[in-house]
Chain A
Amino acid sequence: MKAPVSWIKEYVDLPADLTTEALTDRLTALGLKLEAIEAAGAGIQGPLVIGRVLTQEKEPQKNGKVINWCTVDVGDANGTGEPQGIVCGAHNFGPGDKVVVILPGGVLPGNFQIAARKTYGHVSAGMICSAAELGLPDDGAHGIVVVPTDGPEPGTDAREFLGFGEEVIEFEINPDRAYALSLRGIAREAALGFEAPYRDPALRETPAANDDGYPVVIDDAIGCPVFVARSVSGFDPATPTPEWMARRLEQAGMRPISLAVDVTNYVMLETGRPIHGYDRDTLRGPLRVRRAAEGERMTTLDGTERTLSALDLVVTDDSGVIGLGGVMGGATTEMSATTTNVLIEAAHWDAVSMFRTGKRHKISSEAGKRNERGVDPTICEAAADRVVELLVELGGATAEPGVTVVGVPPQPEPIEIGTDLPARISGMPIPAETTIAHLEAVGCAVTVAGDRATATPPPWRPDITQPYDLVEEVVRIVGYDQVPSVLPRRATGRGLTRSQRLRRRVGRTLAGAGLVEVISFPFVGESTWEALGLPADDPRRNTVGLANPLSAEAPAYTTTVLPGLLEAAGRNLGRGAPGVALFETQTVATPSEAGAAPIYGVDRRPTDAELEALLAAIPKQWTELGVVLAGEHERAGWWGPARPAGWQDALAVVDRLTTELGVEITVESAAVMPWHPGRCAKVTAGETVLGFAGELHPNVCRNYGLPERSAAVVLDLDALIGLTPAVTPGPTFSTMPLAKEDVALVVDQAVTVASVEAALREGAGELLESIRLFDVYVSEQLGKDKKSLAFALRFRAPDRTLTAEETAAARDAAVARAAERTGAVQRA
């Protein structure tokens, strides 16, 4: 909402020495937030005067442009009284026109210094100004400002004519303060802020309703409780809007259109009450307000044909629907350039209905904005009367004696409040008298009985409906800046939860392992699954879809952490990183089978059963941990060549993380996209499949711009955290001497290290302290399908030094078990 300071001051006597900054500071403190102070003409210095063009010679230039060599009468403003020679490139003016001239020595916005200078073969002494050059709103023509012939005489300072020096305050108006979408409301707040005398522009004597007015019938008194209609005749549609009114409309951000329309807009800005004007000669029979029939059609004055809903409020006459009540008028009865007889409608509309209709038809209008937030229902007569007054005064019209008033304004409900409530809620010592005085200051009618008060809000405050609304009114006048700063003393929290602590531990472990965390958007689509090579029946394709996605490419919420992570990896490599190791934790989801989530009322808590039904309808969501390793895993350097990331690095991350958390896992090979079918491990802990790790499928690497052999991990982080032991049992270990035995076992290629190791471990018995594979060897001698696995076995007893015989026996037992289980043969 933009409000010229001079307009505000029409209704409130502010202290004479009050600066605009002090005014806006106070209004911001009261809840009308300052957005900007605009001062037209700011940045313009020096001689800016009215000039009259005496001569204008068109001079074509080599570059194809035509310039105007003008002489301009600027009175005595140039000190000589002689005509001023000025070159001008614009063409929307001619000899005899009055224009705005800035003379040498002047400065235009943007510190544009004006001096006499040679150009196009002339000395151009100044500039004929366009709206844009003056920092005024451009009317779209990009032309020179042409001053009406009855404007000021040449040589006069142009500032007053242009409205310069006038400050316009732009406020950010919160939805609950719809009354401040008017000068009436803003001035009222200023009066409140400075305890200054206030004149309500909507407080006026209006003629009493009579039976001579235009007939109006309300069928839906809930949708439209009040309808006031007034008429004028003999309006001269050719009369221009007076300069002062046009300027105020522009300052308030509205474009002047025609006098009749401008008057209705002016009164709307003044009072907050949207007004609709009809060309009375186009109306057929009585006006009627009703809900539309489903599917009924009409064309609004913006030329759009609309199909109506049974919830839309409409105004009709005998011809059918002629307006979407309170939102937008119809094309057939709109005021035009030939309208001489005007019917003025000032009606009060149900705010919720206005909001729904505006939303349904995607209409955003100044009238709708006010009607859907709530307008004072008691000022319809005053607003209509003000319109009549202005049309008579400015447009030569005659007021018709008929005054139609149908319906009665809804009454605000009284609210009971403890007079100490503002003090109790604000934490400030606000006495009862102050509470009562402040409630009265905002317009409430207050009666007091002991420590209780009953406050009836004023009609322009439909937002005040409960005691806490009254508290806000009192506290904002006392001042939010007066609220003391006190820490609550009773918080008795139990710290972070275990899973919160474990998630931090996971992040720190991975960062410590050289991985960098990323955060990606969770939006995916068909192309995502194609890039990942997921089969058609892959459950990960079963997503929670979005009804209104930002991109048609990604219309669903993801079921896996990988897509964003892979894109981030590709982006890093594309930006020249030699390699990346990334991790991400992402909430993933699968659709709920439970159907629609219920919508309950809010006048009570849902029952436990209702709550359970609500929670059951929410899609299952859990946290996935993803890792992507691509390019150089260890860098090249003076120590040697780079080592590219591979499947083993992915498994190393899994190992490091599960070791850190104390979760014992097993891995086995698996074939799952997007991994390489021969280089993918399924990671399991007990019965729980935690996820997969290994090398990415070459196609997937290609699709994401990653080098071949890039690797990835996906783990169910919630499951992993759930398996983490609460208390790590303290380890016991022997300090007796260590006995070492190395064995080399030849097995078939298909036999896994894990199976050989498990057999060795089992066979070696209790004396075995650790086992570790230290070499894998293949050769022609061994045979094509064979490999040799070299294990270091380490034995130790808790209580004694092992003898060579004991160690050898344990080793032999281990080898024997491996032979039995895996067909291993010990190499000589």
Chain B
Amino acid sequence: MSGPNTDYDPVEVTPLKAEEVDAARDAALAAIAAAQDLEELKQVRIDHVGDRSALALANREIGALPPAARKEAGQRIGQARAAVNKALAERQAVLEAEHEARILVEEAVDVTLPTDRCPTGGRHPLTTGAELIADIFVAMGWEVAEGPVIEAEWLNFDALNLGPDHPARTMQDTFWTEPAENHLVLRTHTSPVQARTMLTRGVTEDAPIYVVCPGRVFRTDEYDATHSPMFHQVEGLAIDEGITMAHLKGTLDHFASQMFGEGITTRFRPSYFPFTEPSAEVDLVCFVCRGIDSEDCRTCRGEGWIEWGGCGIVNPRVLRACGVDADRFSGFAFGMGIDRTLMFRHGLEDLRTLFEGDVRFTTAFGSEI
């Protein structure tokens, strides 16, 4: 540290001589103004207001003056010292501010440095997708029902009007547990949960059933880009007095718009499911092209509609087997694939990405879908 004042050698100031006091004051003010940093200012302070400074020494000599001269000399010195102290304080503040600013500048970092020391986690879109669906229905006052994946044959088939010779049983190639005579299967749909709900809870006027059943199901499909021996379904069941196809349509329209956006509705086409009668296929307005100028739409392949699932009025035979008074109550049921729904909702091309466990896939979805 070197500055203009380092070698300051205080000259003796005679307090009575105004020009000498003024000179000492001006020298101090000039030194203060010239101080470039806090270090220099500290030295200036020592030199010009310290015990051995000209003004301090002069001040000390006031007492030795004749009383008549004291007042004037005292005033002159006092004013000079006040001016110097004020300048010092001001300069101190300026230099401190400059100093702090400089430190902040010097402490700057490269904010583009990577910060991924601890990798990000994520939840599987099939999990969060099922939760999203559950939340849509819970918000309407429905409940979420669950059941085992290894299921009794009777609950998976017979109770749902799929008798032992029903052709539909060949449509769903089923995993049977060993020995097959034990009549246990890996459930081929989540419908046995609906049967369980009716059987264990029953239906009364005061306690209607409104349940949605998301879950894992199995079929003996070879694994490829569009088939998997394990996949996920969500089914819904409403049993109450006066339930109609209109309620089914209303519920699915609401589900569709919540899942795919305002204005996305459904279309029914006659179909066949043993569980329901009348039965319908549910199509969804393509949420990408909205059915307008669909020719080049990749999502619906030019159809304007996307096949979404099946639904219908619960077959009275099912109600009977599950102990529901079919004369008093009617119900509707629907079901769709969660995997498939996610595939077109998110533009997935290969079903297998859902089951490979590649973290690049899952982390893209974060914790909610």
Contact = CB atoms under 8 A, between A and B. Distances in A.
**Chain A, interface residues (CB within 8 Å), range:** 35 or more
Contacts of A605: 199, 320-323
Contacts of A471: 277-278, 313
A425 B357 contact: no
Given A484-B249, A487-B254, A548-B175, A572 B119 contact: no
Contact of B118 (A31, A373, A514): A514
Interface stretch (B41-49, B84-92, B156-164, B290-298): B156-164
A602 B321 contact: yes
A359 B167 CA distance: 10
Interface of B: 113-114, 116-124, 126-127, 131, 134, 138, 140-144, 146, 148-155, 158-159, 161, 163-165, 167-168, 170-171, 174-184, 186, 199-200, 207-208, 210-211, 216, 220, 222-223, 229-230, 238, 240, 242-251, 253-254, 265, 267-272, 277-281, 313, 315-317, 320-323, 330, 354-359, 362-363, 367
A519 B72 CA distance: 95
Contact of A472 (B118, B122, B278): B278
Given A486-B250, A492-B141, A550-B222, A599 B153 contact: yes
Contact of B122 (A174, A466, A516): A516
A355 B167 contact: yes
Contacts of A373: 167
Contact of B245 (A177, A425, A587, A639): A425
Contact of B150 (A500, A544, A635): A544
A175 B168 contact: yes
- 5 smallest beta-carbon distances between A and B, as pairs: A427-B246, A568-B357, A605-B323, A427-B244, A491-B141
Contacts of B281: 33
B330 A425 contact: yes
A557 interface: yes
A486 B357 contact: no
Nearest to B210: A491
A512 interface: yes
Interface in A597-646: 597-600, 602-606, 611, 614-615, 617-619, 621, 634-635, 637-639
A582 interface: yes
A49 interface: no
A517 B124 CA distance: 5
A575 B146 CA distance: 36
A580 to B, nearest CB: 6
Contact of A491 (B208, B216, B354): B208
Given A579-B119, A605-B323, A618-B150, 8 more contacts: A466-B316, A488-B250, A492-B141, A493-B138, A517-B123, A599-B154, A611-B199, A614-B154
A597 B143 contact: no
Nearest to B183: A597
A510 interface: yes
A493 B355 contact: no
A618 to B, nearest CB: 6
Given A176-B272, A546-B175, A596 B182 contact: yes
Contacts of A544: 150, 177-178, 184
B79 to A, nearest CB: 51
B279 A568 contact: no
Given A29-B270, A175-B167, A511-B121, A500 B144 contact: yes
Given A373-B167, A517-B124, A485 B271 contact: no
A490 B183 contact: no
B142 A491 contact: yes
Given A486-B246, A511-B122, A634-B117, A580 B177 contact: no
A571 B215 CA distance: 26
B246 A546 contact: no
Contacts of B362: 516-518
14 contacts: A31-B269, A485-B249, A485-B253, A488-B240, A492-B210, A493-B138, A512-B121, A548-B180, A587-B216, A602-B321, A615-B152, A618-B151, A637-B117, A639-B117
A275 to B, nearest CB: 22
Contacts of B278: 425-426, 468, 471-472, 475-476
B187 to A, nearest CB: 11
A577 B119 CA distance: 11
A480 B159 CA distance: 27
B241 to A, nearest CB: 8
Nearest to A518: B357
A483 B359 contact: no
B152 A597 contact: yes
B316 to A, nearest CB: 6
A500 B242 CA distance: 30
Nearest to A582: B357
Contacts of B265: 485
Nearest to B312: A472
B177 A550 contact: no
B316 A468 contact: yes
Nearest to A516: B359
A79 B245 CA distance: 65
A621 B152 CA distance: 13
A486 B247 contact: yes
A507 B369 CA distance: 14
Contacts of A513: 121
A156 B356 CA distance: 59
Contacts of A571: 356-358
B121 A515 contact: yes
A504 interface: yes
B91 to A, nearest CB: 41
Given A468-B278, A486-B247, A517 B127 contact: yes
A515 to B, nearest CB: 5
B122 A517 contact: yes
A469 B244 contact: no
Contacts of A600: 154, 158
A621 B149 contact: yes
Contacts of A602: 158-159, 161, 163, 317, 320-321
Contact of A485 (B199, B246, B355, B359): B246
A614 B152 contact: yes
B166 to A, nearest CB: 8
Given A28-B269, A557-B186, A637-B117, A475 B245 contact: yes
The residue among A480, A495, A545 with the most chain B CB atoms within 10 A of its own CB is A480
A604 B320 contact: yes
A355 B114 contact: no
Interface string A727-752: 00000000000000000000000000
Given A487-B254, A491-B140, A480 B154 contact: no
Nearest to A643: B117
A712 to B, nearest CB: 14
Contacts of B170: 359
Interface in A504-547: 504, 507-508, 510-523, 544-547
A260 interface: no
A290 B99 CA distance: 110
A784 interface: no
Contacts of A569: 357
Contacts of B242: 424
Contacts of B138: 493, 495-496
A469 B277 contact: yes
Contacts of B158: 599-600, 602
Contacts of B113: 638
A441 to B, nearest CB: 15
A425 B250 contact: no
A30 interface: yes
Given A511-B367, A521-B230, A635 B119 contact: yes
Contacts of A579: 119
A444 to B, nearest CB: 16
Contacts of A523: 229
Nearest to B167: A175
B161 A493 contact: no
Interface in A570-600: 571-572, 575, 577, 579-582, 587, 589, 595-600
Contacts of A433: none
